[in-house]
Amino acid sequence: MLDTAKQAGDIIEATVFERLTRLQHPSNLRPFDVIGDGEISDTILPLARAVDVFVALPRNGRSNEPQGLIDSPLFGTGRHLFLVPDDQRAMVPFENVVAAWNGSRESARAISESLPYLRQASKVGILVIEIESKTQADPLKGDDAVLQLRHHGINAVKSPKKTRLPKR
């Protein structure tokens, strides 16, 4: 089984490397092998903290990823995580993107780290997420995010609809 998994991984690595080479943009591919679920965090975290984006592909064509493959880089790296669904066959430019915004540090960081993807999108919308209790600033929420994206050349618009979440 290990040999079969290694062969499948080598094929994926060669395919990804070939596609990155065609982009003619500086990139680095650092694949890694993990045998047991216990090694995932120890292997992933040091590598993922030193990259611009951590891309997680389904292992050996299976969608039942060990929990640590997503949780470790998501919560332990300070970097964004790009999950490739197991049924994804080819990457196409994003056409319509909606970014959730609640004015928090986390939403600011998410939008900042997604700039390379947002630049490729045809349409970018900011969906304002509010908690149950209203404030005077609520009608303006999201305007600053839209202005920041426009500063970066992204034609973003604020969604006319808002989503309310219950107060915790």
List the domains of the chain with CATH numbers.
2-83 (no CATH), 96-165 (3.40.50.620)
Structure tokens given for 2: 């290990």
Give residue 150's pLDDT: 94
Range of weakest confidence among 29-33, 48-52, 88-92: 88-92
pLDDT per residue as tens digits for the range 97-154: 888 888 888 888 889 888 988 998 989 999 988 766 566 555 568 899 999 999 999 9
Read off the DSSP letter of residue 115: H
- Between CA 92 and CA 90 the distance in angstroms is 6
- Between CA 156 and CA 97 the distance in angstroms is 10
Contact between residue 112 and residue 149 where contact means Cβ atoms under 8 Å apart: no
Counting DSSP H helices and E strands in the chain, the numbers are 6, 5
Structure tokens given for 81: 């995580």
Q: Give the whole-number percent of the chain exceeding pLDDT 70.
A: 70
Residue that is written with structure tokens 């592909």 in the block: 57
pTM over 0.75, yes/no: no
Minimal CA–CA distance to 110: which of 100, 124, 120? Answer: 100
Contact between residue 53 and residue 79 where contact means Cβ atoms under 8 Å apart: yes
